[in-house]
Amino acid sequence: NAGVMQNPRHLVRRRGQEARLRCSPMKGHSHVYWYRQLPEEGLKFMVYLQKENIIDESGMPKERFSAEFPKEGPSILRIQQVVRGDSAAYFCASSLGGPRPSPLHFGNGTRLTVT
């Protein structure tokens, strides 16, 4: 059973370009979470999605960032007009959800470098 798959593992973008980060959850998981980890800092929650719905985006910057989890295909975190401060590791996690507590399982992240 494959774990959470994120790609690309490393992404380099110039300032002003767009970054698209993809996340395929574990098989059977319908809940997806995105986290960001700045260099030498802790993990910060960004957004929580279920299929076709954003449930909680309280951690998302108000501008330039968006996320989706379509009915078919991976979840996408999109960063428009990237700036140097966006350089970080972005982690995706998935869980089963449902009536019993279900652990989040994380991918190995996408490391975004903005030059």
Partner 1 sequence: DAKTTQPPSMDCAEGRAANLPCNHSTISGNEYVYWYRQIHSQGPQYIIHGLKNNETNEMASLIITEDRKSSTLILPHATLRDTAVYYCIVRPYSGGGADGLTFGKGTHLIIQP
Give burial (CB, 10 Å; 0-12/13-18/19+) of 76.
Answer: middle
Size of the site for partner 1 (CB under 8 A): 29
The reply to whether 48 sits near partner 1 by the rule CB under 8 A is yes
In angstroms, what is the minimal distance from the CB of 29 to partner 1? 9
The reply to whether 25 sits near partner 1 by the rule CB under 8 A is no
> Residues 37, 99: contact at Cβ < 8 Å?
no
Degrees to nearest 5, angle at CA 93 with 28 and 89: 150
Cβ distance to partner 1 smaller for residue 55 or 83:
55
Cβ distance to partner 1 smaller for residue 14 or 101:
101
In angstroms, what is the minimal distance from the CB of 1 to partner 1? 14
The reply to whether 103 sits near partner 1 by the rule CB under 8 A is yes
User: CA-to-CA distance for 12 and 1, rounded, in angstroms?
Assistant: 30
Report DSSP letters for 17-70, one per residue: --EEEEEEPPTT--EEEEEEE-TTS-EEEEEEEETTEEEE-TTS-SSSEEEE--
- Per CB under 8 A, the list member of 20, 56, 70, 115 interacting with partner 1 is 56
Q: Give the binding site for partner 1 (CB under 8 A).
A: 4, 31, 33, 35, 42-45, 48, 50, 55-56, 89, 91, 93, 95-99, 101-109
